[in-house]
Structure 1
Amino acid sequence: MNQDANGINEIPLSKIKMIMLLIGSVLFVAAGIWFIKNPEIFRRSPTLITIIGYLSIVFFGIGVLFIVNKLFDTRPGFVIDANGIVDNSSMFSVGFIPWADITGLSIIHVNRQKLIMVKVEDVEGYIHRQPNALARRTASMNYRMYGSPVSISAVTLKCSFEDLYRMIDNGWKASGFAK
């Protein structure tokens, strides 16, 4: 984390965390290929195993592409300043969120992963800001399930989840927009 004289916190992407995620994703792609080539060795339906194999290849293959792209990204993973936050940490990042758009923060747990849900004023606007159909669908699903289309994780950042949440919360309160 780098804080400059103007109070801007820049949190870099963690190359080590991303390499670990890359290794895991590659292993799941390899497992998907193995499932497709050897579905008959499982007790379950070979058709189901083959489908799982294809889904694993597609899902984790997209992850591999994203991670490789992020490994060469020189921009900070997350920025907190007087104007708001800039999320560049994940495939579903929304970019800049001004403090005035934020109506609340909460923490949720999904499969042993902590996420910061950033509640925003213009929900539909943030859903439609997403760059592709998959990201819009994910944002819409997040809104229905967790009350916000914007979720932030520290998984790819060079900081702990607790530090990230504290910095966002403190920045939001300092902005004067926190209720």
Structure 2
Amino acid sequence: MEIITAVCGCKELTEQNLVIAVKRERLGFLEEWGSFTWLGVIASLIVTGGTWIFFILGFHAGDILNPKYMCNQCRTTILPVQFRIPGYSNPKDVERETYVDEELPKTETSFDALPLYSKKSVALEPNETLDRKTIETSKVKILLLIIIAFGFVALGASFLSLDPAEIASRRRFNSPLLIHGIGVVSVGFFSLCAIAGIWKLFSSGPGLALSSKGIEIFGIRSNTLVPWIDVSGFSVYEMQSQKMLIVKLRNPKKYIEADSSFRRFMAETNYKMCGSPISVSANSLKISFKELCELFEQYFERYTENT
């Protein structure tokens, strides 16, 4: 086990304990391949016949190519932070070095900008910080949703294939216009749902992120950032046993008017139905609905104390 030095938030943020020693946690055989990671990934794709097995088993390219570290005390996963040096525009040009504790440079930088020192550390995205909690999409959940969507598409297609005379001869639901209309709506709506699900299935981006900046929701064409100052609270909306976390906004019209015409229509519908244009579901995320609510409350209390 390799000893490295990293930043962790399990203690109070004082100068003495901002930096603590943690041990590297191996991520199975994939991480042990080291420099042969790409070769291993290619071999895995050939053997499995595609990336479906990765989705089903829960593997992600980020887990394979970006080693993670675990704190010995709070047992939370720590991601490496980009080590920036003035004068270097490209972080890849910076040669990383290993420091012993007494050689660690003194810093008065805020917690979310502190670096990790390790020869094998991998940089986060430029907008990542240590206070940022990213919730990945669940490929298994999305795959199930796609299957359900295709099921409704097939059901709608069966409605469209019914003969008008056969429909009219029934005692109930004997309106061909109504049955065929339901078929058209079902095929159209759930086809869009299936396309969106397929896009999310093959997308490498996360589904949701919480940080000091606010709530970042990753959509198909654009992302939505809701600053904490705009949030007044949360509520739970339940329909047909499906729960959604409603983000109550101080000025909902601001987010409705900022969208395109189609998204504006959807946001207005959501606002009239739930009381807010912003809602979050755990159906496609790697988190339970209860954990999602608790996480939102924690961040809301942390970053709205003085607002």
| TM-score normalised according to structure 2 size | 0.53
1:124-149, Cα deviation, whole Å (9 max, x unpaired)? 1211233441x222211222232211
Question: What's the offset of the Cα at 1:168?
Answer: 0.8
- Structure 2 spans left out of the alignment, 5+ residues: 1-75, 80-128
Say yes or no: does 1:130 pair with 2:291. Answer: no
Question: What's the offset of the Cα at 1:94?
Answer: 5.9
Cα 1:128–1:81, aligned 2, differ >3 Å: closer, same or farther? same
Residue of 264, 283, 286 corresponding to 1:155: 283
1:89-128 matches, within 5 Å, as 95-128=224-257
Which one has a bigger Cα radius of gyration? 2
Which range is displaced more, 163-172 or 145-154?
A: 145-154
Comparing both chains, which one has the higher relative contact order based on Cα–Cα distances under 8 Å and sequence gaps of 6 or more?
Answer: 1
Cα 1:34–1:178, aligned 2, differ >3 Å: closer, same or farther? farther
Contact 1:107-1:115 at 8 Å conserved across structures: yes
**Corresponding residue for residue 202 of structure 2:** 72
Residue of 33, 53, 64 corresponding to 2:157: 33
Amino acid at match of 1:31: L
Amino acid at match of 2:176: P
Distance 1:37 1:55 in 2: 14
> 3-state DSSP class of the match of 1:86?
strand
Question: What's the offset of the Cα at 1:73?
Answer: 1.5
1:49-91, Cα deviation, whole Å (9 max, x unpaired)? 1111101011101101111111121111111111111112x66
Distance 2:296 2:148 in 1: 29
Cα 1:30–1:143, aligned 2, differ >3 Å: closer, same or farther? same
Contact 1:36-1:54 at 8 Å conserved across structures: yes
Distance 1:178 1:140 in 2: 31
RMSD: 2.4
Distance 1:140 1:3 in 2: 39
Determine what percentage of the aligned residue pairs are the same residue. Answer: 32
Instruction: Decide which structure has greater helix share.
Output: 1
**Corresponding residue for residue 132 of structure 2:** 8
Contact 1:94-1:129 at 8 Å conserved across structures: no
**Corresponding residue for residue 146 of structure 2:** 22
> 3-state DSSP class of the match of 1:30?
helix
Distance 1:67 1:141 in 2: 21
Contact 1:99-1:177 at 8 Å conserved across structures: no
Contact 1:81-1:171 at 8 Å conserved across structures: yes
Distance 2:140 2:238 in 1: 23
Cα 1:177–1:141, aligned 2, differ >3 Å: closer, same or farther? farther
Contact 1:2-1:11 at 8 Å conserved across structures: no
1:38-53 matches, within 5 Å, as 38-40=162-164, 41-42=166-167, 43=170, 44=173, 45-53=175-183
Contact 2:199-2:220 at 8 Å conserved across structures: no
Q: How many residues of Structure 1 are paired with residues of Structure 2 in the alignment?
A: 177
Cα 1:92–1:130, aligned 2, differ >3 Å: closer, same or farther? farther
Question: What's the offset of the Cα at 1:46?
Answer: 1.9
- Structure 1 spans left out of the alignment, 5+ residues: none
Cα 1:159–1:92, aligned 2, differ >3 Å: closer, same or farther? farther
Contact 1:116-1:165 at 8 Å conserved across structures: yes
Amino acid at match of 2:159: F
> 3-state DSSP class of the match of 2:148?
helix
Contact 1:39-1:49 at 8 Å conserved across structures: no
